[in-house]
Structure 1
Amino acid sequence: MDTITTQKAPHKIRDIQNHHMDSTIWDSFTFRDDDIIVASYAKAGTTWTQQIIGQLIFDGRTEPAMGQVSPWVDLRVPPPEVKLPMLEAQTHRRFLKTHLPVDALVFSPKVKYVYVARDGRDLMWSLHNHHYNANDQFFSVINDTPGRVGPALDRAPEDPVAYFREWLDGDGYPFWSLWENMRSWWAVRDLPNVLMVHFNDLKADMDGEIRRMAGFLDIAPTNWDAILDHCSFDHMKANADAMAPMGGALWEGGGATFINKGTNGRWQASLPAADSAAYEARSIAELGEECAAWMMNGRR
Structure 2
Amino acid sequence: MPEPPTRYRSPDEDSARWQGFPRRPGDIVISTRSKSGTTWVQMICALLVLRTPDLPAPLTELSPWLDWLVEPQEQVYARLAAQRHRRFIKTHTPLDGVPSDPRVHYVVVARHPLDMAVSLHHQGANLDRARVAELTGQPTAPDRDGPSVEQALVRWIDADPDPREELDSLPGVLWHLRDAWARRHRPNVHLVHYDDLRGDLSGQMHHLADRLGLDPPGPDLVEAATFDRMRARADRLAPDPAGVFKDRSAFFRSGRSGQGSALLDDAGRARYRARAAALAPPDLLAWLHRDR
How high is the TM-score relative to the length of structure 2? 0.88
Residue correspondence of structure 1 range 36-51 to structure 2 within 5 A: 36-51=28-43
CA distance in 1, matches of 2:114, 2:225: 24
Structure-2 residue corresponding to 1:121? 114
- Pairwise CA distance, 1:241: 1.4
Runs (4+) off by over 4 Å: 151-156, 172-176
CA contact (8 A) 2:29 2:89 kept: yes
Q: CA-to-partner distance for each residue in 1:150-171, whole Å, 9 max, x for gaps?
A: x998879241223223333134
Q: CA-to-partner distance for each residue in 1:130-174, whole Å, 9 max, x for gaps?
A: 1121013542256427xxxxx998879241223223333134658
Structure-1 residue corresponding to 2:231? 237
Task: Tell me the C-alpha RMSD between the 2 structures.
Answer: 2.5
The one of 221, 246, 249 aligned to 1:252: 246
CA distance in 1, matches of 2:155, 2:186: 34
After superposition, the Cα gap between the structure-2 partners of 1:293 and 1:76, relative to the gap in structure 1 and judged at 3 Å, is same
Residue correspondence of structure 1 range 1-300 to structure 2 within 5 A: 11-64=3-56, 65-140=58-133, 143-144=136-137, 157-168=146-157, 169-171=159-161, 173=166, 175=168, 177-221=172-216, 224-246=218-240, 249-253=243-247, 255-297=248-290
CA distance in 1, matches of 2:154, 2:15: 27
- Pairwise CA distance, 1:101: 1.5
Q: CA-to-partner distance for each residue in 1:50-105, whole Å, 9 max, x for gaps?
A: 11111011113312232321111112221212221122122211101111112222
Q: Please, which moves more after superposition, 79-88 or 196-205? A: 79-88
CA distance in 1, matches of 2:151, 2:124: 13
CA distance in 1, matches of 2:167, 2:209: 35
CA distance in 2, matches of 1:49, 1:196: 11
CA distance in 1, matches of 2:142, 2:106: 32
After superposition, the Cα gap between the structure-2 partners of 1:137 and 1:71, relative to the gap in structure 1 and judged at 3 Å, is farther
CA distance in 1, matches of 2:131, 2:176: 24
Q: CA-to-partner distance for each residue in 1:97-140, whole Å, 9 max, x for gaps?
A: 11111222212211111111011001111111111210135422
After superposition, the Cα gap between the structure-2 partners of 1:122 and 1:138, relative to the gap in structure 1 and judged at 3 Å, is farther
How high is the TM-score relative to the length of structure 1? 0.86
Count of residues in Structure 1 that have an aligned counterpart in Structure 2: 284
Supply the AA of the counterpart residue of 1:163: A
After superposition, the Cα gap between the structure-2 partners of 1:13 and 1:36, relative to the gap in structure 1 and judged at 3 Å, is closer
Gaps of 5+ in 1: 1-6, 146-150
After superposition, the Cα gap between the structure-2 partners of 1:272 and 1:142, relative to the gap in structure 1 and judged at 3 Å, is farther
CA distance in 1, matches of 2:52, 2:28: 18
CA distance in 2, matches of 1:238, 1:203: 17
Q: CA-to-partner distance for each residue in 1:208-241, whole Å, 9 max, x for gaps?
A: 10000000111114x6111011001110010011
- Pairwise CA distance, 1:283: 1.3
CA distance in 2, matches of 1:143, 1:273: 41
Supply the AA of the counterpart residue of 1:75: W
CA contact (8 A) 1:32 1:111 kept: yes
CA distance in 2, matches of 1:141, 1:216: 41
- Pairwise CA distance, 1:267: 2.3
After superposition, the Cα gap between the structure-2 partners of 1:142 and 1:289, relative to the gap in structure 1 and judged at 3 Å, is farther
Supply the AA of the counterpart residue of 1:235: R
